[in-house]
C-alpha cells in the first residue's frame, strides 16, 4: 500500500521514522520510506491550519495514496485522556471561525456564511464517517476535537470552549487536514497523542517524549495492519 503520514513537525513523527527504511529524498517536506510491504511518505507541513491545508492539497493533487494519516500531539480536555494516551479523532471543527458579538460568539454557520451541511461539513463539523478498516485504529479510543489558531491557556476561555463544543482534544492542524482529505476524497484517519492537559500553560507538566513514543507505536501498528487486518 501507499501510505502518507502528514505531520506539522518532524519531531512529532521521530519515533515512527526510526522504524522505517529511508529512500532517496524527494524534497525537504515530502520524504519517502519503506516498511515492507508498504511505501510510506511523510509530509511535514509546518504548524497551523493554513500550512496544513496548502501542503496537503498540493500533494493530493499530484499523488494517490491508499491511506493518509495525520500524526501529531494534542491537548486534552478530558481526564479519561491523560498525557501519553493516543486517540483517533473522527470529528473536528474550527473553533474560532466566526465573529464576536459582544460577549457572544457566532459561528460561521450562525452567520449564515456557510450551511450546516454544506460540503465538506456535516452539522457544522468535519466528520470521518468511514474510517479505514484497520485493527490498529480500532484499538484506539475515539474522540471529538477542535482546531484552533491559539491554543487554550486561560481558565475562562477553556471553560467557554468546553461549554460550547465539549471536545475531547484540541490541535492546531486537525480540521485543516480533515477538510483537505474530504475534498480530495482520500481515505484518512487523524491520530494524535495527548501531550498535555488543556490548562494554563505549564510546560513542566507536558510529556512530549512519552507522547511521541506512544504515537510512534500506534502508527506502526496501524501501518502494519494496513491492507491486511480486518
Residue 218 lies in a domain: yes
Residue 229 has pLDDT above 60, yes or no: no
Q: Any residues with CB less than 8 A from the CB of 54 and at least 6 apart, and which?
A: 45
Q: C-alpha 174: how far from its chain's center?
A: 4
Residue 13 lies in a domain: yes
Instruction: Give residue 202's pLDDT.
Output: 83
Instruction: Give residue 230's pLDDT.
Output: 55
Residue 152 lies in a domain: no
Express each pLDDT in 25-45 by its tens digit.
677 899 999 998 999 999 999
Express each pLDDT in 60-107 by its tens digit.
999 999 999 999 999 999 999 999 999 999 999 999 999 999 988 999
Express each pLDDT in 101-142 by its tens digit.
998 899 999 999 999 999 999 999 999 999 999 999 999 999
Express each pLDDT in 171-187 by its tens digit.
999 999 999 999 999 99
Residue 112 lies in a domain: no
Q: Which domain range does residue 64 map to?
A: 2-93+126-147+167-225
C-beta separation of 74 from 12 below 8 A: no
Mean of pLDDT values over 206-223: 94
Instruction: Give residue 228's pLDDT.
Output: 75
Residue 196 lies in a domain: yes
Instruction: Give residue 181's pLDDT.
Output: 98
Q: Which residue has the cell 489558531?
A: 149
CA distance 226 to 94: 29
Burial 11-50 (b: 16+ CB within 10 A, else e): ebbebbbeebeeeeeeeebbbbbebeebbbbbbbbeebbe
* Maximal CA-CA distance, the chain: 56
Number of neighbours of residue 165 by Cβ within 10 angstroms: 17
Mean of pLDDT values over 153-169: 94
CATH number of the domain where residue 68 is located: 3.40.50.1580
Instruction: Give residue 103's pLDDT.
Output: 85
Residue 174 lies in a domain: yes
Domain tally for the chain?
A: 1
Helical pair 49-62 and 174-184, crossing angle rounded to 10 deg = 30
Instruction: Give residue 52's pLDDT.
Output: 98
Express each pLDDT in 196-205 by its tens digit.
999 998 888 8
Model-level pTM? 0.94
* Higher pLDDT among residues 91 and 229, named by residue: 91
Residue 60 lies in a domain: yes
Residue 200 lies in a domain: yes
In this structure, what C-alpha cell is assigned to residue 200?
Answer: 494554563
Amino acid at each position: 500500500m501507499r501510505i502518507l503520514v502528514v505531520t506539522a513537525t518532524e519531531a512529532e513523527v521521530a519515533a515512527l521514522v526510526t522504524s522505517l527504511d529511508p529512500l532517496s529524498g524527494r524534497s525537504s517536506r515530502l520524504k519517502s520510506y519503506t516498511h515492507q510491504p508498504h511505501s510510506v511518505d511523510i509530509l511535514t507541513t509546518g504548524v497551523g491550519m493554513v500550512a496544513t491545508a496548502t501542503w496537503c492539497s498540493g500533494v493530493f493533487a499530484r499523488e494517490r495514496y491508499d491511506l493518509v494519516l495525520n500524526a501529531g500531539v494534542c491537548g486534552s480536555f478530558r481526564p479519561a485522556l491523560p498525557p501519553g494516551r493516543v486517540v483517533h479523532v473522527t470529528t473536528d471543527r474550527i473553533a474560532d471561525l466566526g465573529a464576536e458579538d459582544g460577549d457572544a460568539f457566532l459561528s460561521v454557520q450562525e452567520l449564515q456564511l456557510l450551511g450546516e451541511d454544506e460540503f465538506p461539513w456535516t452539522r457544522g463539523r468535519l466528520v470521518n464517517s468511514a474510517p479505514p478498516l484497520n485493527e490498529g485504529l480500532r484499538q484506539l479510543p475515539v474522540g471529538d476535537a477542535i482546531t484552533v489558531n491559539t491554543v487554550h491557556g486561560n481558565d475562562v476561555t477553556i471553560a467557554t470552549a468546553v461549554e460550547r463544543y465539549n471536545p475531547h482534544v484540541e490541535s492546531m492542524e486537525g480540521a485543516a487536514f480533515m477538510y483537505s482529505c474530504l475534498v480530495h476524497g482520500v481515505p484518512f484517519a487523524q491520530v494524535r497523542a495527548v501531550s498535555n492537559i488543556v490548562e494554563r500553560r505549564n510546560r513542566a507538566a507536558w510529556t512530549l517524549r512519552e507522547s511521541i513514543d506512544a504515537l510512534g507505536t500506534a502508527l506502526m501498528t496501524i501501518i502494519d495492519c494496513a491492507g491486511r487486518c480486518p
